[in-house]
Structure 1
Amino acid sequence: MEEKSPTNNTSSDEIDLGQLFELIKKGFHKVFIGILRVFLYFKKNLLILVLLGVVGVGLGYGLKQISTITKKTEVIVKPNFESKDYLYGIVNELQSKIKGKDNEFYSSIGIDLEAIKGFKIEIEPVQESNNKVVNLEESLKYLEYLGNLKDDNSIKQVVKNEVLASSYVNHKISFLYKDAKMGQDAAEKIISYINKNKYFQELKEIYLDNAESQIRENEALVKQIDLLVTNYTKALGSKNGTSGDGMVLLGGEEGLDIPQLLNLKNKLIETTGTNKLEIKEQQETIKILNFGGPQQIKQAFFTKGLVLIPSILIFLFFVWSFIKYLNKKTKELL
């Protein structure tokens, strides 16, 4: 057989490299032509694009000026006397009366519903710390496990409601409105109305009376303990002694357990402090933790309108130009 010549292989390699360089050259040429066409397109339509940008900025600024800014007041509250269900119920009722334009009801609490444009009430639980959220998730997972053991949706829902109720202590009531002065005044009147529920007012009086009675009794017992300890201390003499367990022995009389009395005194003082704190916190059915002032709500569209509207107009022009180009190519093919 005749062997292939090495020169033929070398020549073939040179031809392949030449074709490769030619393809690269053509590729760069097409890229350059593409960039040139884009440049020419923007140069040809520069005036239109600038005009669309100016018109868009003008429209965005105009909409921002004529748009009415919504404001809100946020009130952080803590329901006392297990009044959480009442709180959510009354807020939903008040919002329903707004939708139903119940002017008579709102006039009875000193609010001119017609004058407050865009007035709205919302309520939601305040999220607690991450640890409490994790505990809530674990409780709900355990609840799902219990649900798998017994197919009783009613019991499962009751337990779930109890878990959720114990997980959220504070709640946020939001009032939305247009006029800052009238909106803030309406928010104060509505919170006052919520706290005037007759049932919870009577319940509050009972709670406060019980707490004050317990404080008086505890303080009286503390005084008696102090008097006992003082008298027994004075009665100590050389013929008396103290047992190893801290009990004071007085000449044949029954011993006095000093450590136990002091422990009881500390518990009484602690209970008294807790009762005083409860009296402070339970002056209202719905304890107001923070009553915020009017604040502006950010409206994304109008705040970004100066950039968004010109961008939309320019984008629509590009779409129109592309459709026009496709239409031209279609006519050439036909």
Structure 2
Amino acid sequence: MSKDSQQQNQSEEVDLGQLFKAIGNGFSNFFKGIANIFKGLFQGLVLILLHFFKRIFWYVGAVVIGLVLGFILNATAGKSYGANMFIKTNFDSGRQVYENINQLNQLASVDRDTVELGKILNISPTEASKLKGFYIKPGTQENNIAEMYFEYRQNLDSISQTEVTYKSYKESLSSYAFPVHQIRVASTDKFIYKEIEKAFIKELVNNDYLDELAMVNVENLKREKVALENQVIQTGYLIDEYLKIKISQSQKPESNGTNLYMGDAEASNSSVNEAELLKEQLKLEEQKREVLRLMVAEKDIISVISGFPSSGYDIREWYEKYIIAIPLATFSITLFVFLLIGLGKFLKAQEGNKVM
């Protein structure tokens, strides 16, 4: 092997050695960096624990004072109760319901007009002063929105169906477009809800047009029910007569059978047997049951799915309760004071170093 080849091989070996050494140093530095991070976190945790350990009596005292103050405030301050009502709006009455809820909330929480509020809900001004707010929001779940979207798409042409997505449809829905709504009433009196329920429901749909629409709808459903009952009776009569004729004809040896014709069936020389009549009767009975359901579901402008409970319940969040919020506040204030003291000492030390 020539001298030049030996020198080239040695040079390549040196280059590879340096490369592997650099890679090794890189991994070593990487793991050392991770170790330093954990070491720094551990030291920080120790410093924090040491801070609280040295001043444990200050923090315990602050929490105890906060608990005492919170207990006193909880005992003396008025409690806030709430109760929910779920309703189903009929005849596109959602707009009217939302408007009336906004009016009641304005009277209760903004104007504090207890006289007008009491007049509307048939209670005294003193009782009305205990009402603190009226709120409403759609009570429909995601699967209900999907059903509404599917039904909406069925009424569109093929081009519109491709353009309207579920997301765009959902975003286009207004609050009063949903059928079911949740109404919440806030009060300082937990037993006031049943007292205001009847007048409250009446006020939600205070609209002459909607009253007339509901009345006409009930009359139409009654007429449809009577018509369906007559058709059921007539169909049953036809079935009985058909069976009588069939039995009578079957007893004659020379009979080739008897056909019963309905409407234009005779002109086309096609007969209707009792099976078809029974199907028609079942169909009419099903239509009658649907009408009876609608007579209950659409009897009023709004259907109360769930009324107010006999008493309200505490609607405050955990962070709104004084016995929790006040101790957290006193603890935070104590921590903030010690941080300021520590920051002041650090700045003084830095200032002294600069002077030196």
Q: Which TM-score applies when normalising by structure 2? A: 0.66
Match of 1:117 among 107, 114, 130: 130
Letter of the structure 2 residue corresponding to residue 124 of structure 1: K
Are 1:56 and 2:72 counterparts? no
Kindly provide the amino acid, as one letter, of the partner of residue 339 in structure 2: V
Secondary structure of the residue that 1:241 maps to in structure 2? Answer: coil
Give the 3 Å change call, closer, same or farther, for CA 314–257 of structure 1 in structure 2: same
Identity of aligned residues (%): 18
Name the CA distance, whole Å, in 2 between partners of 1:326 and 1:91: 57
* Matching of residue 309 in structure 1 with residue 329 in structure 2: yes
Q: How does 1:247-258 map to 2 (within 5 A)?
A: 255-258=271-274
| Aligned-partner SS, 1:212 | helix
Q: Which residue of 1 aligns with 2:188?
A: 178
Deviations 1:96-133 (A, max 9, x none): 333334445334331334542352111111132x4344
State the match for 1:17 in structure 2: none
The verdict on how the C-alpha distance between 1:179 and 1:278 changes in structure 2, with shifts beyond 3 A counting, is: same
Structure 1 position 42, deviation (Å): 5.6
**Conserved? CA contact 1:121–1:174, under 8 Å:** yes
Distance in 2 between residues matched to 1:102 and 1:192, nearest whole Å: 20
Q: Distance in 2 between matches of 1:105 and 1:185?
A: 16
The answer to which of 282-291 and 101-110 deviates more is: 101-110
Q: 1:97 aligns with which of 101, 107, 112?
A: 107
Contact kept? 1:75, 1:172, Cα under 8 Å = yes
SS in 2 for 1:69: coil
Question: Which residue identity lines up with residue 329 of structure 1 in the other structure?
Answer: A
CA distance in structure 1 between the partners assigned to 2:136 and 2:92 by the alignment? 17
Following the alignment from structure 1 to structure 2, what is the Cα–Cα distance between the partners of residues 75 and 283?
18
2:343 aligned with 1:323: yes
Secondary structure at 1:181 match in 2:
coil
Report what 1:281 is aligned to: 297
Q: Equivalent residue for 1:296?
A: 314
Cα deviation, residue 199, structure 1:
2.8
For 1:58-73, list aligned pairs within 5 A: 58-73=68-83
Separation in structure 1 between the aligned mates of residue 326 and residue 106 of structure 2, nearest angstrom? 37
1:203-222 to structure 2, matched below 5 A, reads 203-222=213-232
Q: Distance in 2 between matches of 1:165 and 1:38?
A: 54
Q: Which runs of no fewer than 5 residues in structure 2 stay unpaired?
A: 1-38, 154-158, 260-264
Distance 1:102 1:285, change over 3 A: same
Within 1, Cα distance between the matches of 2:160 and 2:60? 62
State the Cα distance separating 1:318 from its structure 2 match.
2.7
Greater shift after overlay, 62-71 or 207-216?
A: 62-71
- Paired position in structure 2 for 1:131: 143
User: Does the aligned pair in 2 maintain the 1:176–1:183 contact within 8 Å?
Assistant: no
Matches within 5 A, 1:13-162: 39=50, 45-98=55-108, 99-109=110-120, 110-113=122-125, 115=127, 116-128=129-141, 130-134=142-146, 146=163, 160-161=172-173
Q: How far off is 1:276 after superposition?
A: 0.6
Partner of 2:6: none
Contact 2:131–2:185 (8 Å) recurs in 1:
no
CA distance in 1, matches of 2:101, 2:52: 57
Which deviates the most, 108-117 or 198-207?
Answer: 108-117
- Count residues with an aligned counterpart: 284
Displacement after TM superposition at 1:78 (Å): 0.5
CA contact (8 A) 2:88 2:180 kept: yes
Q: Tell me if the contact between 2:218 and 2:295 (Cα under 8 Å) persists in the aligned partners.
A: yes
Could you list the runs of 5+ residues in structure 1 that have no partner in the other structure?
1-27, 149-155, 244-248
Distance in 1 between the 2:348 and 2:270 partners?
116
Which residue of 169, 193, 208 maps to 2:203?
Answer: 193
**Counterpart amino acid of 1:89?**
E
